[in-house]
A and B are shown apart, each in its own frame.
Chain A
Amino acid sequence: MLADAKKNSESESSATLLEVKGLRIEGLSEKGWQEIVCGVDLKLKRGEILGLIGESGAGKSTIGLAAMGFARDGCRITSGEIIFDGIELCTASEEQKRKLRGNRISYVAQSAAAAFNPAHRLLDQFAEGPVDHKIMSRTEAKEKGRQLYRSLDLPDPDNIGERWPHQVSGGQLQRMMVAMAMSCGPDLIVFDEPTTALDVTTQIEVLKTIKEIVTARNVSAIYITHDLAVVAQLADHLMVLRYGNLIEVNSTGQILEAPKQEYTRALLNARTRHEQTTVQISDAETLLSINSVTAGYGNGLDILQEISVSVERGRTVAVVGESGSGKSTLARVITGLLPPRSGEIHFQSESLPPALAQRSKQQLQKVQMIYQLPDVALNPRQRVRDIVGRPLSFYLGLSGKKREHRIIELLEHIELSEHYIDRLPDELSGGEKQRICIARALAAEPELIICDEVTSALDTIVAKAILDLLQRLQRELSLTYLFISHDLDTVASIADQVVVLYAGRIAEQGPKTAVFQPPFHPYTRLLLSSVPEMRQGWLEETLSTHEAKAGIAREVKITERGCPFAERCPVAIPEICVRDRPPLQTPASGHVFACQHAPEMLLDHFA
């Protein structure tokens, strides 16, 4: 008998857990009901992880939720079958589905900060599922929660559950949501972009948590993401989706090594690092120089501390850092939106007045900016003609035919036809909107363009095209870019010079080649090693060799003394690093980093 039961469960373990056949889902849009998932089939065995990959509008989240028999408001499942462990979810009663949800299928949302109820303690929210599904008592559930927190290396696991959601940092909250998904010991977890909103160093920690949970406990998972490199670390199989259609499905290795479809290749290609050797410009003129600028908002802390950066004409200087590093504040200081507390900014060797109101039209004209979210950077009530034409009439005094002609010329520059001139932003795609933003910046005929995270809100393929466009324009029009980004891949492909910011201070800066290899500053090293690589096994390697286990998943904190990175630094010297400002070291001309250790010491340490 016993042997039979065991055999049974073994055969069960290789059996299909979830099967979706011909799934069609419609969504309500302005044009009425439209199909957003157009007949997708899917099969998931026990213990298997399936990655759903696609850009925005691919329908991947909708499919993920449908696997729980759930459709959001404004969506409806029109046909198809969803069979979870022999139960047909499309025809199941609400009550039947409710008993499965949270219990045998659970869900991890993109933003833990929004998905936890602000009015309850975290452990109570953890225990709610198992208690309501009558799996265990409240005390048992809470004990299980503490155990899970402990096994996931959460700080202070015995007490962290007593906190309220807003008292825990983003990365930790995300990991606690993963723990919550495990509360009832489910058979299947749906992960819906669980690391998209996080910094790379935080992302790694959450990925580690997810990996531990699903492999150690033999749980099946559907992992939804737009980032191939991330899902490659976890998934056994990948499904590539586009506009609600299945493009390709195969084992992860096959998709990465030998993609069959054009679209899959494009996705892979867009995410692969293309390092370009930069053109050396001899005796380049310094266009912008920022001299020991300190800035902050209101009466708050100094968000930027003693920042000095210089930008040479025709070059691209990239400013990298995690959220909270102060990189966007730097852009605000340069544009004059935030006058610095001390320090100076020179433009073409002429001193720039600190506040926007004091700057002349010519000074304003020379620095233009492109923003992260093209949706909010374009006035929805203005047509392309007005958007691109305004700088022309404002700065250059163009009007009538001349202005019209110039607008069309600018549209050509950004590879859009002249028919776009009468369009409203709503009638453009995300990539086209960003192109219009570029055209608007170009219209002013600037010397320097500040690009603030210009590709991070875009789908990978579109982002790649925008980067290519920026580079082409730079070559043709000899533009100078200050490129702000958190994405090291992007930086690696576009920058000549790199400035690494941490908690408002410059950790390291210099030519790209010098800063990225060999990495000297421990933070640069941590950043570089945290960027997921497009191959299987990267996560395990990084985690096993990860020199900064202590360093990941901590919040960026501005400090008034010492090295702000000391708390996370694997080679921090006790007492000294938290007390004294790290000295600036110059291993080569133009390459500077701030650390107590000498370059040789650091190289040795990480060897």
Chain B
Amino acid sequence: MSAKFGILVVLIYSIVAIFAPFIAPYGEREILGRSFELWSDKYPLGTDNLGRDMLSRMIFGARNTIGLALSITILAFLLGSLTGMIAAALGGWVDQILSRIVDVLMSIPSLIFALLILSIFGTSVPYLIATITVIDATRVFRLARATAMNVVVMDYVEVARVRGEKLDWVIRKEILPNITAPLLAEFGLRFCFVFLFISALSFLGLGLQPPSADWGSMVRDNASLITFEDITPLLPAGAIALLTVAVNFIVDWLLHKSSGLKDVS
């Protein structure tokens, strides 16, 4: 039930993100009127602090924020799961070195790490992507390595090794197919994390830079409206929350399904 709701929400978001230019009534960066105009027929959600249409920026924000989060998650997944599986399959010193590096990186709180790097390199999109990818990849590495470890100890992996199979076969054919379920669930969770993380950075003014529309910075830019009991700045925040809730519902359902009926009594 909640999973269906989740899938529906994710679908709607994807459509909005993909077709943003066709759906949005105005352009992303168009300054149309006075700042902080109220909700009206012309501007359904009013205008923002610079007089841009709030609704259009919400729609473009979907595209920017989701697109960025998705690409970072995919990159982090490629990096993290590949190194994780290699560490598990090879073991020995390769595993030791990779694991220790990840341990150190993970012992710095992720937000603090990001703040540090961004203060050194400045806030530009490539550095943003690289930083969050590395942070996120460490978490993926942990999971990929742990689940792959459970597979590596299985006799069928030993069979493949004794047969003389190369590392790439062991990873592709023996390990990967057996850890796709947890990795898929993890993908959802990681996406939520990255999505919230980018939003948080944007909210702090350190994420996507203006004039790109981004939900986190939209909250920040229009926060002062709250004092007038205007809920407009809560809308982008709510949009963020709704998507993460939806993804989490799907993941929860996936995990429940793959864990079998253990939890049922």
Contacts and interface: CB of A to CB of B under 8 A. Distances in A.
The reply, when asked whether chain A contacts chain B directly with Cβ atoms under 8 A, is yes
Interface of A: 28-30, 73-74, 335-337, 356, 359, 361, 364, 369, 371, 373, 376-382, 390-391, 394-395, 440, 444
B162 A379 contact: no
Contacts of A29: 261
Contacts of B264: 28, 73-74
Given A30-B261, A73-B265, A74-B265, A394 B159 contact: no
A364 B162 contact: yes
B100 interface: no
Given A29-B261, A73-B264, A377-B154, 5 more contacts: A30-B260, A73-B265, A359-B164, A378-B156, A381-B177
A233 B131 CA distance: 69
Nearest to B151: A379
A36 to B, nearest CB: 14
Given A30-B261, A74-B265, A376 B161 contact: no
A376 B155 contact: yes
B118 to A, nearest CB: 42
A25 to B, nearest CB: 15
Contacts of A28: 261, 264
Interface string B246-265: 00000000000000110011
17 contacts: A29-B261, A74-B264, A74-B265, A356-B161, A356-B162, A356-B164, A364-B162, A364-B163, A369-B159, A371-B159, A373-B155, A377-B155, A377-B156, A379-B178, A381-B177, A394-B165, A440-B159
Counting chain B CB atoms within 10 Å of each CB, which of A361, A377, A440 scores highest? A377
Nearest to A440: B159
Nearest to A336: B162
B164 A394 contact: yes
B156 A376 contact: yes
B165 to A, nearest CB: 7
Contacts of B162: 335-337, 356, 364, 369
B158 interface: yes
A381 B154 CA distance: 13
B34 interface: no
Contacts of A379: 154, 156, 173-174, 177-178
Interface of B: 154-156, 158-159, 161-165, 173-174, 177-178, 260-261, 264-265
B164 A337 contact: no
A535 B253 CA distance: 54
A397 to B, nearest CB: 14
Which 5 residue pairs across A and B have the least CB separation, nearest first?
A: A381-B177, A377-B155, A73-B265, A379-B156, A364-B164
A444 B159 CA distance: 12
A369 B156 CA distance: 11
A385 to B, nearest CB: 13
A65 B8 CA distance: 46
Contact of A337 (B158, B173, B177): B158
Contacts of B178: 379-381
Contact of A74 (B155, B161, B261): B261
Contacts of A361: 164
A379 B160 CA distance: 10
Contacts of B159: 369, 371, 377, 440
A424 to B, nearest CB: 11
B184 to A, nearest CB: 14
A439 to B, nearest CB: 13
A337 B165 CA distance: 13
A380 B154 CA distance: 11
B258 to A, nearest CB: 12
A59 to B, nearest CB: 19
Contacts of B265: 73-74
